[in-house]
Amino acid sequence: MSKDERTSDQKAYDSASISMINKAKEENINLSWDRYASVQPQCTFGVKGLCCRFCNMGPCRLNPKTGAVKGVCGADADLIAARTLTRSVAAGTAAHSNHGLEMAYILLDVAEGKAAAYKITDETKLKQVALDMEIPIESRSKEEIAKDVALAAISDFEKSHTKPHFLKRVIAKRIKIWEKLGIVPRGVNEEIVEALHRTNMGMGSDYKEITMAGMRVALSNGWAGSMLATEITDILFGTPKPLRSTVNLGVLKKDMVNVLIHGHEPLLSMVIIDAAVDPEIIKLALSVGSKGVNIAGICCTANEALMRRGLPIAGNFLQQELALVTGAVEAMVVDVQCIMPSLPEIAKCYHTKIISTSPKAVVKGAVQIMFDEEHAYERAKDILKEAINNYKNRDQAKVNIPDKKMDLVAGFSHETINYMLGGTFRGSYNPLVENIKNGRIKGVVGIVGCNNPRFTSDAPTVKLIRTLIKNDILVVQTGCAAIAAAKEGLMVPEAMDQAGAGLREVCEAVGIPPVLHCGSCVDNTRILIACTEMIKHGLGEDYSDLPVAGVAIEWMSEKALSIGNYFVAQGAMVLVGVQHQVTGSDNMTNFLYNEMENLTGGKFVFEPDPDKAAQIIIEHINKKRKALGI
């Protein structure tokens, strides 16, 4: 396999990652960056969206130079690019939404007394959600309410020809825009199925229509699939409140049994955190000569547990392999999504056990301990015992835990933002809106998504954030991009020193960092709610009026495509650092990056350079401010 010739500091930004990349090289271990090099050159037909494999007359690769301007069926570049994109958006929507559906079924089990490891933790949130779903709450037990909420949530996925309940939360003017465009979303499963149907061979051939269907399926993610995942997770595990924690590979402990939780659904991992303090588990951990069990996380499962329990985070997406290279991990417990298939192979170089827990994501070469909600606590203990018994196999000669970790404050749900910026007695978005109007805060930018070996991992995200806060732009974050910023110390109140004078003043008064961790990728829906609140508190009349933008500069996942789409459909500008695979079609490129603005008020912008990206965003925010007369 060919190696990535970039130096380690060209591959990753933080020193902990760099040192583990070096260690992997010494130990002859291939990482994502090496595999990225090995697949070069990447297929230009794929990159440009000019390859269709949707039927068996193909695959058809279009190449105008050789006269291949249409597929066998007659599909042109516009159509092939549009269909491929919309299918990816449907797949990303499916991932987030299937996770949301899973949460809804657990809530139903809890309401029916069938899942002993879980309970209704946040009754206020439960009631709020019930009210938004028009479910009665007067003189009813929380279980009765929860059952109706769960059933209503399930119907948002499974029922056809209905609209998701949370569309009631959307500003009316925006619904009118969607009605005009024909993109008011319906049930999530229906939207996904229809998107797959629409993109078959011999279906519609209008690229714009198919792209807009992609917007609609994404909206069903934003206002149903992902939003339900967030709300139900809050109900079951608590709505996040600010708390302190630590981040980066240095959270692993030399003298403890290290267990990493990795993936996206917090159902098992939250119970693992509880089980780790079970006297039986502590006793066992001490009996093998360790000082106890240390749990830390990777990716969004980690973000979920960080937000609600202050769980330390070992790293983001591209650090999952590096965590194993420390040689100090007894078990990495994986559930669903963003789990590299390479993990078991790398784990073999050490004593680490990869434990696969989701029947939907059976990882080959892993120990299989399948999650089961009725016996969640027992499964969690089984997993911890497996890890503890593995401690004796740790080869100290191979252990190197980078001495690098950073403090952070996380837990910024939209309720928290409301409460913190609104003052002690009465939460409100008024002060935030006032600070935007008076210019102390120029705007709000959501910086989200993945990291990607195409870049020096995390570098563009972090550089962009530093420039934006210096220019008085408040940054809100989710996903792996949030972990990237946290590692650089941007999520502690002291980071206000790096902010412009106006933003600094607000951070100082309220005691918040200039960069707020809002959670996992499904929690981008918290940003939708925050934007809605800003409008309700007098900042413009529609989402497209707001001085805000979205960014997923290092994105790689189809989930990020779906998120980007729902923000553009909402009326936001979304900046990406990797172009959509549509550039072989001038029409599609123009549609997404220009013309879309005339339809939804939002559009995609492509700019991988963080300095130029910052300028584009600042100009955009200034333009929106000017239009608002502020």
Q: Which residues bind ligand NFS (CB under 6 A)?
A: 264, 299-300, 317, 338, 449-450, 479-480, 520-521, 557, 559-560
Name which of ligand NFS, ligand SF4, none residue 54 binds, using a CB cut-off of 5 to 8 Å depending on partner kind.
ligand SF4
Half-sphere exposure of 450 (CA within 13 A, CB side): 21
**Pairing of the two strands 443-447 and 353-356:** unpaired
Name which of ligand NFS, ligand SF4, none residue 557 binds, using a CB cut-off of 5 to 8 Å depending on partner kind.
ligand NFS
Choice between 100 and 431, CB closer to ligand NFS: 100
Positions touching ligand SF4 (CB under 6 A) are 52-55, 57-60, 71-73, 75, 80, 201
In the complex, the smallest distance separating the C-beta of residue 607 from ligand SF4, rounded to whole angstroms, is 31
Choice between 303 and 589, CB closer to ligand NFS: 303
Choice between 285 and 486, CB closer to ligand NFS: 486
Choice between 413 and 457, CB closer to ligand NFS: 457
Q: How many angstroms separate the CA atoms of 380 and 273, rounded? A: 9
Half-sphere exposure of 475 (CA within 13 A, CB side): 36
For the beta carbon of residue 162, count every other beta carbon within 10 angstroms: 12
Q: How far is CA 400 from CA 290, 326, 600, in A?
A: 17, 5, 51
Q: How many angstroms separate the CA atoms of 243 and 477, rounded? A: 16
Name which of ligand NFS, ligand SF4, none residue 8 binds, using a CB cut-off of 5 to 8 Å depending on partner kind.
none
Name which of ligand SF4, ligand NFS, none residue 573 binds, using a CB cut-off of 5 to 8 Å depending on partner kind.
none
Closest CA to 474 of 432, 537, 533: 432
Choice between 360 and 392, CB closer to ligand NFS: 360
Name which of ligand SF4, ligand NFS, none residue 75 binds, using a CB cut-off of 5 to 8 Å depending on partner kind.
ligand SF4
In the complex, the smallest distance separating the C-beta of residue 380 from ligand NFS, rounded to whole angstroms, is 22
Choice between 56 and 287, CB closer to ligand SF4: 56
In the complex, the smallest distance separating the C-beta of residue 207 from ligand SF4, rounded to whole angstroms, is 13
Choice between 390 and 557, CB closer to ligand NFS: 557
In the complex, the smallest distance separating the C-beta of residue 124 from ligand NFS, rounded to whole angstroms, is 27
End-to-end, the C-alpha distance of the chain in Å comes to: 56
Name which of ligand NFS, ligand SF4, none residue 217 binds, using a CB cut-off of 5 to 8 Å depending on partner kind.
none
Q: What angle do CA 425, 430, 432 make, to 5 degrees?
A: 105
Name which of ligand SF4, ligand NFS, none residue 299 binds, using a CB cut-off of 5 to 8 Å depending on partner kind.
ligand NFS
Choice between 75 and 569, CB closer to ligand SF4: 75
Name which of ligand NFS, ligand SF4, none residue 57 binds, using a CB cut-off of 5 to 8 Å depending on partner kind.
ligand SF4
Q: How far is CA 238 from CA 166, 411, 427, in A?
A: 20, 11, 18
How many helices (H) does the chain have, and how many strands (E)? Answer: 27, 16
One-letter-per-residue 3-state SS of 392-423: HHCCHHHCCCCCCCEEEEECCCHHHHHHHHHC
In the complex, the smallest distance separating the C-beta of residue 53 from ligand SF4, rounded to whole angstroms, is 6
In the complex, the smallest distance separating the C-beta of residue 550 from ligand SF4, rounded to whole angstroms, is 31
Name which of ligand SF4, ligand NFS, none residue 58 binds, using a CB cut-off of 5 to 8 Å depending on partner kind.
ligand SF4
Task: Give the three-state DSSP class for 548.
Answer: strand
In the complex, the smallest distance separating the C-beta of residue 311 from ligand NFS, rounded to whole angstroms, is 15
Choice between 452 and 471, CB closer to ligand NFS: 452
Choice between 154 and 196, CB closer to ligand SF4: 196
Choice between 53 and 536, CB closer to ligand SF4: 53
Q: How many angstroms separate the CA atoms of 546 and 533, rounded? A: 11
Name which of ligand SF4, ligand NFS, none residue 71 binds, using a CB cut-off of 5 to 8 Å depending on partner kind.
ligand SF4
| DSSP assignment letter at 457 | B
Q: What are phi and psi of 150, to 5 degrees?
A: -60, -45
In the complex, the smallest distance separating the C-beta of residue 535 from ligand NFS, rounded to whole angstroms, is 26
- Which residues have C-beta within 8 Å of that of residue 612, sequence separation ≥ 6? none
Q: Does residue 314 contact residue 260 with C-beta atoms inside 8 Å?
A: yes
Identify the H or E element spanning 52.
strand 51-52
Q: What are phi and psi of 264, to 5 degrees?
A: -140, -35
Alpha helices of 169-252 — where are they, by DSSP H? 172-181, 188-198, 207-220, 226-237
Half-sphere exposure of 316 (CA within 13 A, CB side): 28
In the complex, the smallest distance separating the C-beta of residue 464 from ligand NFS, rounded to whole angstroms, is 16
What's at 99, amino acid-wise?
H
In the complex, the smallest distance separating the C-beta of residue 207 from ligand NFS, rounded to whole angstroms, is 26
Name which of ligand SF4, ligand NFS, none residue 193 binds, using a CB cut-off of 5 to 8 Å depending on partner kind.
none
In the complex, the smallest distance separating the C-beta of residue 550 from ligand NFS, rounded to whole angstroms, is 13
